[in-house]
Amino acid sequence: MRICKMVQSALYKSCNFYVNDNGVLTGEGERAFGCIRNGAILGAGALSLGIPLGGIVEGLDFLDDMTGCDNIVNFGVLETIGGLDTILNLLH
């Protein structure tokens, strides 16, 4: 729940949707965790290749429907939570 609250501003739904009262991820929380982790890894890789953040966000948004990750993360507001590096560090 602590990590969810740190990234809440980038999530489309509240942390209560993703994390049970006992701190265990819901089924949607597990899906969201995978989507966030994979998006952050792809984004960090793209950044290291010199792709600008705007292009990365467009690419991740494009992949949302195909990966089943639509309506979980608003990657356009990543900078409000510190960006891709912050997310990757939180998920270790």
Q: Could you state, in chain order, the average pLDDT of each consecutive group of 10 residues for the chain (92 residues)?
A: 85 94 94 85 84 83 85 77 69 64
Question: What is this structure's pTM?
Answer: 0.76
Say what the pLDDT of residue 91 is: 66
CB 75 within 8 A of CB 57: yes
Work out how many domains the chain is built from and give that number.
1
d(CA 12, CA 15): 9
One-letter amino acid identity for 13?
Answer: K
d(CA 66, CA 89): 26
Q: Which domain holds residue 25?
A: 2-90
